[in-house]
Amino acid sequence: MTLNNFLSNLENKNPGQSEYLQAVRDVYEDVFPWLDNHKDYTEEKLPERLAEPDRTIAFRITWRDGKGNIQINKGWRVQHNNALGAYKGGLRFKEGLRLDTLKFLAFEQTFKDALTGLPMGGAKGGSDFNPKNFDAMDIERFCQAYMLELYRHIGPDIDVPAGDIGVGSREIGYLFGTYKKIENKFQGALTGKSPAFGGSCIREEATGYGTIYFLKQYLENSGGALQDKKALISGAGNVALFAAQKLLDLDVTVKSVSDSDGTLEFKEGLTHDLLNALKELKFEKRGRLSEMEEGRFKSQVRYHKDKQPWGLEGANIAIPAATQNEIGEKEAKDLLDSGVETICEASNMPLTSDATKYVRGLKTMTILPAKAVNAGGVAVSGLERSQNAEYQHWSADKVDEKLQSIMSDIFKTCLRYGEGDFVKGANIAGFERVAKAVIAYGAN
Ligand code: GLU
């Protein structure tokens, strides 16, 4: 079967699920040519079996807010594949979230988790609940109601959710507390917990740190160094801010962060003081970046309302760390014009298909793909599971050392499989690891 036939069949079965179809297309464009030399996988229908989730659970969440009003939300868990281990992947709470998005994320997660080399399958879940519309007490109520439904589908050897957009350590605390209460068991059915109660050190930092470990290795391998570089970052969640922190630690100039309202440019580069203020604003006050225009840092920043960072001049590295499809072909061209040579994908599927095709066709710009670059988060989730299973708590140094070694292995794997094309390397290596296990299990 040709790729086009395969994709049109998939589209007929999943009409309108554009992000899911995009994710499958992006991976299979690399996998299909490789399958020509791996006929056993085609005969055993691996492409079909790995595109389709094992199961999709959809449910209603009804809860009463602090004003006494009944609220109704949609909830899902997409358990994509557990060939390599229990289902594993985050929960996203976001206004307007669709099953389509979670199917793309669960598909990607399966190959990302495979790349970590840890025994984890792939899943993703979430809700169309919009945390921005509710106060902390309503968020607690919602998390409890969400877990009242989710608990029956998860467990340390079944499916282990974690955080994602809209779900941080506060929400994981509420979700885990509810799970523990219902099951009357203290066990590692969720990761991203606080280190105060079974969480791993540096889980919060891991996706951002891992991103920079990967980038550093890539630059060193191609004869460069991070030190003299300038980076644009989008997003202002934990991925963006901890990537920024690691860059600062390595003396790299960080020129921007952003949120859904606009971009905050750092005129002379980000400083530790500014970063601390941003962490307080985003993690504690849960405010907007526009607030930085006022107050003690106003002379150091410039705020660009309704703008992404990709038009800013003078950077060599772009680190999208906001959300999917944040860079289209136009933005990719802007990046090229402004001198960016490396797009280091910290968010999942940040480039549209057109943008990916455009950049991969260039000799002067390289994509470091999300499923490899941002695997550090789920890798430390895997380490959190190990700590929970052995009733131990490891030091931050130990976890960080393991994270660096996992990122380095992922880098080498992508290099070997892609021969310089990291997108291809990550896609084929991830696919092969899952496919090998699936084929060994026979027809199930
Ligand atoms: N949501 C994160 C990701 O995209 C983390 C998942 C996890 O730790 O299970 O990989």
User: What is the full per-residue pLDDT of the chain (444 aa) written as tens digits?
Assistant: 899 999 999 999 999 999 999 999 999 999 999 999 999 999 999 999 999 999 999 999 999 999 999 999 999 999 999 999 999 999 999 999 999 999 999 999 999 999 999 999 999 999 999 999 999 999 999 999 999 999 999 999 999 999 999 999 999 999 999 999 999 999 999 999 999 999 999 999 999 999 999 999 999 999 988 988 999 999 999 999 999 999 999 999 999 999 999 999 999 999 999 999 999 999 999 999 999 999 899 999 999 999 999 999 999 999 999 999 999 999 999 999 999 999 999 999 999 999 999 999 999 999 999 999 999 999 999 999 999 999 999 999 999 999 999 999 999 999 999 988 999 999 999 999 999 999 999 998
Residues 225 and 273 in one domain: yes
CATH of the domain at 362: 3.40.50.720
Q: Which atom of ligand 1 is nearest to the CA of 89?
A: 9
Domain assignment present for residue 424? The answer is no
What is the reported pLDDT for 228? 86
3-state SS class at 274? helix
Residues 340 and 254 in one domain: yes
Catalytic residue among 94, 124, 216, 255: 124
Residues 42 and 138 in one domain: no
Radius of gyration of the chain measured on its C-alpha atoms = 21
Decide whether any atom of ligand 1 lies within 6 Å of the 381 Cβ.
yes
Q: Where are the beta strands (DSSP E) in 278-420?
A: 301-305, 317-319, 342-344, 366-368
Residues 241 and 334 in one domain: yes
3-state SS class at 262? strand
Residue with token string 């892609």: 418
Give the span between the Cα atoms of 249 and 261, in whole angstroms. Answer: 28
Q: Which domain-ending residue is among 339, 372, 405? A: 372
CATH of the domain at 130: 3.40.50.10860
Q: How many angstroms is it from 102 CA to the middle of ligand 1?
A: 12
Which of 113, 154, 164, 383 has the most ligand 1 atoms within 8 A of CB, as the residue to mutate? 164
What is the reported pLDDT for 397? 98
Q: How many angstroms is it from 267 CA to the middle of ligand 1?
A: 32
Give the span between the Cα atoms of 424 and 30, in whole angstroms. Answer: 6
Catalytic annotation present for 124: yes
Domain assignment present for residue 320? The answer is yes
Give the span between the Cα atoms of 442 and 142, in whole angstroms. Answer: 41
Residues 360 and 211 in one domain: yes
3-state SS class at 363? coil
* H-helix or E-strand spanning residue 192: none
* Single-letter residue type at 360: R
Q: Phi/psi at 170 (nearest 5 deg)?
A: -60, -50
Q: Which two tokens stand for residue 248?
A: 């600062």
Residue nearest to ligand 1 atom 8, measured at CA = 378
Domain assignment present for residue 394? The answer is no
Domain assignment present for residue 91? The answer is yes
Give the span between the Cα atoms of 319 and 257, in whole angstroms. Answer: 10
Residues 220 and 281 in one domain: yes
Neighbour count for residue 290 (Cβ, 10 Å): 14
Residues 121 and 46 in one domain: no
What is the reported pLDDT for 1? 86
Quote the domain boundaries for residue 26: 1-52
Neighbour count for residue 87 (Cβ, 10 Å): 30
Q: Which domain-ending residue is among 117, 151, 183? A: 183
Q: How many angstroms is it from 95 CA to the middle of ligand 1?
A: 19
* H-helix or E-strand spanning residue 60: strand 55-64
Cite the DSSP H helix spans in 151-196.
Answer: 169-183
**Beta-sheet pairing, 55-64 with 70-81:** antiparallel
Q: Which two tokens stand for residue 164?
A: 């994602």
Q: How many angstroms is it from 164 CA to the middle of ligand 1?
A: 6
Q: How many angstroms is it from 78 CA to the middle of ligand 1?
A: 13
Domain assignment present for residue 386? The answer is no
Q: Which atom of ligand 1 is nearest to the CA of 92?
A: 1
Residues 364 and 338 in one domain: yes
Residues 267 and 368 in one domain: yes
User: Domain total for the chain?
Assistant: 3
Residues 255 and 350 in one domain: yes
- Give the contacts of 364 (CB within 8 A, at least 6 positions apart): 336, 341
Residue nearest to ligand 1 atom 10, measured at CA = 378
Residues 226 and 358 in one domain: yes
* Single-letter residue type at 351: L
Question: Could you tell me how far CA 306 lies from the centroid of its own chain?
Answer: 23
What is the reported pLDDT for 444? 86
Residue with token string 């809700």: 127
Decide whether any atom of ligand 1 lies within 6 Å of the 191 Cβ.
yes
Residues 131 and 234 in one domain: no
Domain assignment present for residue 90? The answer is yes
Domain assignment present for residue 120? The answer is yes
Decide whether any atom of ligand 1 lies within 6 Å of the 164 Cβ.
yes
Domain assignment present for residue 23? The answer is yes
Q: How far is residue 295 from each of residues 82, 200, 277, 300, measured CA to CA in Å?
A: 50, 35, 11, 11
